[in-house]
Amino acid sequence: MADNNGKFVVNENMAGKVAVVTGANRGLGYEVVRALCERVPEVTVYLTARDEVAGLQAVQELNKLGLNPQFHQLDVTNKQSVANLADFIKATHGGFDYLVNNAAILDYEDVYPDYEAAKKNIDCNYRSLLTIEEYLFPLLREGARVVNISSACGHLSNLRNEAWIKMLKDPELTTEQLNSFVDHYLQSVRDGSFRRQDFADEGRHAEHRVSKVAVTALTMIQARKYASRHISVNALHPGHLATAMARGGGVTSPARAAALVLYALLDASPALSGAFLWHDRRLVDWYDHRGDYHYVHKEL
C-alpha cells in the first residue's frame, strides 16, 4: 500500500501477501530476500534456487538472523520446475503479489561465446522469463509488482544494428518480434555470420547484451499487457555487482542493489510501470539508443 506521496506503508493488509525471488541462494537474490524479510515480515517470502542444498543453506543462514523465508526449488530453465512452483503457489496461497526475476548467468571470461554457450545464456536470462510469464503471471494478484533484473547490457544503446533498433523501439513491439531478434542473433553465431559491428564495444559479450536487451524489451511488453490488472512491471540495472558472476570485477554491493529492488517493489508509485531504473534510481530512457549507457567490458 502507498500513501499520498507514493511511499510504501506497512500495515495489517500485508498479511497474506506473498513474494517470490528467483536465483536467491546467493548474491543479489539472497540480499533481496533478506531485505524483504526485514522490511515486511508479514509477507511470506519464497527464496528459490535451482540447487536445493544451496537454497536450504541460504534459508538456514537467514534463520540465524531471525528471518523466516520459505524455500522452494526452482530451475527457471526447466518448464516442469516452473510449473511445479506455480502449482504450489496456487494450492498454498491462491496467488502472489511480488515477483523478482533475478536468476541469470554470465561467463565473464568467454567474451565471444560459441553457439551453445550463447544459447545457454539466452535460455536462462531471457527465455526463462517467457516460461515464468506463462505459468506464474496468471497467479499474480491485482496490483502486483514485478521487477525484472536487467543490466547495463540491457539498454538499447548496446545495439548498433539499425533494423533491430527500429523494431525494438516500436511501441507496439510483440513478443514474437522480440523472439525473432534473439533468434537472428543466435543464428548468426551458429552459421558464422555474426557481426561485431552490430553491437557496442566491438560485440564483446553480445550474447549477454542480447539476453538483457530482450529482458528489458519484454518488460515494456508485459507492462502494456498487464496494465488492465494494475500490475506494474519494471526493469532495473542494479549496478556492476561485486558477486561471483563478475569474477571479482564488481563495484556495487548486493545489499545496495537490493535496496533499489525494494524501492521498485515497495516504495515507487504503483503507477510506475514499463520503466528502466538505473542503479542510482534514475529513470533512464531505454529507447535512447544513442545515449551513453551501454556496457563496456573490462579485462580482469
DSSP 212-230: HHHHHHHHHHHHHHTGGGT
Residue among 62, 233, 52 at smallest CA distance from 136 = 233
In terms of residues, how long is the chain?
Answer: 300
Q: pLDDT per residue over 12-60, tens digit each?
A: 478 799 999 999 999 999 999 999 999 999 999 999 999 999 999 999 9
Give the pLDDT of residue 1. Answer: 40
Is residue 251 a contact partner of residue 242, using CB atoms and an 8 Å limit? yes
Residue from 115, 62, 70 nearest 89 by CA: 70
Torsions phi, psi of 160, nearest 5? -125, -10
| Spatial distance between the Cα atoms of 265 and 245, rounded to a whole number of angstroms | 24
39, 53, 143: which is closest to 99 by C-alpha?
143
The candidate with the shortest Cα–Cα distance to 209, out of 193, 226, 189, 191, is 189
| pLDDT tens sequence for the chain (300 residues) | 444 444 444 444 787 999 999 999 999 999 999 999 999 999 999 999 999 999 999 999 999 999 999 999 999 999 999 999 999 999 999 999 999 999 999 999 999 999 999 999 999 999 999 999 999 999 999 999 999 999 999 999 999 999 999 999 999 999 999 999 999 999 999 999 999 999 999 999 999 999 999 999 999 999 999 999 999 999 999 998 765 544 444 578 899 999 999 999 999 999 999 999 999 999 999 999 999 999 999 876
Residue-range domain boundaries for the chain = 12-284
As a whole number of angstroms, the distance between CA 266 and CA 10 comes to 9
Location of C-alpha cell 555487482: 241
Contact predicate 234/272, CB 8 Å: yes
Burial 231-257 (b: 16+ CB within 10 A, else e): bbbbbbbbbbbbbebbeeebebebebb
Q: How many Cα atoms occupy the beta-carbon half-sphere of 205 within 13 Å? A: 25
What is the DSSP-derived secondary structure letter of residue 264? I
> Judging by beta carbons within 10 Å of its beta carbon (0-12, 13-18, 19+), is residue 129 exposed, middle or buried?
buried
- The fold adopted by the segment(s) 12-284 is Rossmann fold (3.40.50)
